[in-house]
Amino acid sequence: MAAKEELYAKVTPRRQRQNRPSTIKHGSTLDVLLSMGFPKTRALKALVSTGGKNVQAACDWLFSHLDDPFLDDTLPREYVLYLRPSGPLLQQLNNFWKQSRLSCGKNKAHNIFPHITLCQFFMCADEKVDALSDALQNTVAKWKGRIRMPLPLELYTSSTFIGLFVEEQIAEMLKTFAADFATEATSKADVHVEPHKKQLHVTLAYHFQASHLPALEKLAKNVDASAGCDWLAVLLSRDIRFANHETLQVMYPYVPQNDDELELLQGDFIFMSTVEQSTASEGWVYGTSLGTGLSGLLPENYVSRADESDTWVVHGSHSFLNCASPSTSGTTVSGLLFDGHLNDSLFDSLMDPSGLSGLCPPLQVSRPGCQPSLSKMRLFVCRHGERMDVVFGKHWVTQCFDSKGRYIRSNLNMPVSLPARSNGHKDYEKDCPITVFGSTQARLVGEALLESHTNIDFVYCSPSLRCIQTAQHILQGLQQEGKTKIRVEPGLFEWTKWVSGTCLPTWIPPAELTAANLSVDTTYRPHISMSKLAVSESYDTYISRSFQVTREILTECKNLGNTVLIVAHASSLEACTRQIQGLTPQNSKDFVQVVRKIPYLGFCACEELGETGVWQLVDPPILPLTHGPNHSFNWREMLMQD
């Protein structure tokens, strides 16, 4: 412990640290980076920081960290071994996480995803990480099929703690497994691992207000601890320098105005320590970027609080089932830096049946003692793709149309052509199209649905052009274009309070959309007509409208098809699913906080519980979609010399 405390002492404050060179030895992936001219220390650090994912990920990391003052530092990362649940139990725990956070606010348990701790944090030199991963894989192989699944768990509550404890006999077996890993890790990677000696448990809540105990206890009792589950042994790492820092996520990009300010890229994470805030004035904080390693001042209202584990890296994930094990490495626990919050479906994706065909049974898509019903109704709600006005600014219309109203694109990410509008191109100012990349995003989602053998029976869409185009490209990816018509439903338009000006957008009529080769159902009669939408409607009106139209859509489709897709706005993922689950609407402030974190093509799934008319959120049949920002490039400004 003394050596560890010394290392912590050396990283505070960071601005006085000095760089130190190092030499290391690694495998073939490292050899590729060395052949490209990267120094050994940097190349290995890049591989470890990206989980050894691949050469491209390591190269991207190196280029983004060129100015990182700790790029050549040999300080090791910290590692930990957790058991992570999958399948129905994880779904229930995620629902508890969400509901407890909404009703009682964030407590300490929310900083890390649901897990059972098998060992304490320990350090491993970069050149030993591959051996450490092998040690875990070998240990799990010895224990496959020996531990009963699902683990027997019992609820325990006190005034300060709520958790699920592992039955003693099984807990002792897990501790023996952890001890075996510690021995293997010492032998292969020359590290000291201390197995967890206390009672093994899943923490549900702690460090919460005393007044929240009844509500949290009630939610905890609704968790079915016997739900079907496989437990994954997951090896994770974090940057030791930021172990005692608060984690923030960038919500908006920021270009520095002064030399001591930090550039912000949307989706990046910022590490902030309270001891470093002496140089920050009111409304500003001092932090360090995960994406670049650079430090500086940044506006506080450009970031939001994230979870501690959002920036951790996965170096291996292995199933305890008596079958081949999915081993995943090179993934940050946040999964995709876009998504804004801890990606609870990340570890589900590790066990996704579409990616494990012939390896392990897809436990997470079935419940104990029953098979999925083919007649069960499903509802998918999806946000539209990347929109033109966000990428190119609100004045893109005046820049892309000449005096005669002819469209001329000025960037490869702009569509080659746009649908004609009877009232002229000015209508695009309030009803913009999606970009070329937005089309690609949507097509990728459609292709993923096709690969998961998902068939869409009905498609309903907001009247916004960006939503209709997104739905069209999803159908293209699904190979259902022309076969499944898009039903344009004005009732699915976003909260009209967010529309600028004194009037709503002028949308393209279905007949003109069809003329523009968009697969729109011209015979569809909307549940809520456009004339019923009012400017600046109240929050309650919007929520009520969304619930009403969703319920009527589901009733309309019942017994005619199993799967309904709604393509609309970020707010739709919350507004169209919350009340059909029997939940009361959030207040408008919390609603906005949820909506602002939903990315382009954000996708959620609901499933009806039998014939009860009650719905619940479930894992989508596809992986999440993540992408990074790409700034405008002008070669004249960058490359021309004076």
Provide the residue ranges of all domains of the chain, joining segments of one domain with +. 30-65, 77-251+302-316, 378-387+432-618
Q: How confident is the model at residue 149 (pLDDT cuts 50, 70, 90)?
A: confident
What is the pLDDT, as a whole number, of residue 215? 93
Contact, 288 vs 295, CB < 8 A? yes
3-state secondary structure of 28: helix
Using CA atoms, how far apart are residues 372 and 352, in angstroms rounded to an integer? Answer: 16
Using CA atoms, how far apart are residues 545 and 299, in angstroms rounded to an integer? Answer: 36
Give per-residue pLDDT as tens, 354-366: 332 222 332 222 3
Task: Specify the residue for token string 């448990």.
Answer: 201
Q: Which residues partner with 124 through β-bridges?
A: 77
Of these ranges, 99-103, 142-146, 467-471, the one predicted with the greatest mean pLDDT is 467-471
- Which residue type sits at 545? R
SS3 content of the chain, % helix, strand, coil (to 5): 40, 15, 45
- pLDDT score of 630 more than 60: yes
3-state secondary structure of 44: helix
Q: How confident is the model at residue 21 (pLDDT cuts 50, 70, 90)?
A: very low
Task: Specify the residue for token string 């139990």.
Answer: 89
Give per-residue pLDDT as tens, 258-289: 999 999 999 999 999 888 887 788 889 999 99
Contact, 29 vs 261, CB < 8 A? no
- pLDDT score of 160 more than 50: yes
3-state secondary structure of 107: coil
Strand segments, DSSP code E, in 290-445 are 295-299, 303-305, 313-319, 331-332, 378-383
Q: How confident is the model at residue 333 (pLDDT cuts 50, 70, 90)?
A: low
What is the pLDDT, as a whole number, of residue 28? 76
Using CA atoms, how far apart are residues 251 and 428, in angstroms rounded to an integer? Answer: 26
Q: How confident is the model at residue 350 (pLDDT cuts 50, 70, 90)?
A: very low
Helix (H) or strand (E) holding 484: none
What is the pLDDT, as a whole number, of residue 371? 34
What is the pLDDT, as a whole number, of residue 205? 93
Q: Is the dihedral of CA 274, 280, 283, 285 positive or negative?
A: negative
- Cis status of the peptide bond prior to 362, with omega within 30 of 0: no
Q: How confident is the model at residue 26 (pLDDT cuts 50, 70, 90)?
A: very low
Mode of pairing for the β-strands spanning 77-85 and 231-238: antiparallel
Of these ranges, 238-242, 459-463, 559-563, the one predicted with the greatest mean pLDDT is 459-463
What is the pLDDT, as a whole number, of residue 635? 79
Task: Specify the residue for token string 């974090």.
Answer: 238
317 DSSP assignment: E
Using CA atoms, how far apart are residues 19 and 23, in angstroms rounded to an integer? Answer: 14
- pLDDT score of 583 more than 50: yes
Q: Does the domain made of 77-251+302-316 have the CATH classification 3.90.1140?
A: yes
466 is in an annotated binding site: yes
Give per-residue pLDDT as tens, 308-323: 999 999 999 998 875 4
What is the pLDDT, as a whole number, of residue 612? 63
Q: How confident is the model at residue 25 (pLDDT cuts 50, 70, 90)?
A: very low
Contact, 262 vs 294, CB < 8 A? yes
What tokens does 450 get? 């096709």
Q: What is the share, in percent, of the chain residues with pLDDT greater than 70?
A: 86
Q: What is the share, in percent, of the chain residues with pLDDT greater than 90?
A: 62
What is the pLDDT, as a whole number, of residue 13? 41
- pLDDT score of 62 more than 50: yes
What is the CATH architecture of 378-387+432-618? 3-Layer(aba) Sandwich (3.40)
Helix (H) or strand (E) holding 458: strand 458-461
What is the pLDDT, as a whole number, of residue 19? 36
Using CA atoms, how far apart are residues 448 and 473, in angstroms rounded to an integer? Answer: 12
| Least confident among 18-22, 193-197, 330-334, 542-546 | 18-22
Question: Where in the sequence numbering do the catalytic residues fall?
Answer: 383-384, 569
**Counting runs of H as helices and runs of E as strands, what totals does the chain give?**
18, 20
Closest Cα to residue 549, out of 480, 619, 463? 463
Q: How confident is the model at residue 144 (pLDDT cuts 50, 70, 90)?
A: confident
399 DSSP assignment: H
Give per-residue pLDDT as tens, 224-233: 988 888 889 9
Q: How confident is the model at residue 375 (pLDDT cuts 50, 70, 90)?
A: low
Hey, what CATH topology would domain 30-65 get?
Helicase, Ruva Protein; domain 3 (1.10.8)
- Which residue type sits at 250? V
Give per-residue pLDDT as tens, 171-188: 999 999 999 999 999 999
What is the pLDDT, as a whole number, of residue 54? 78
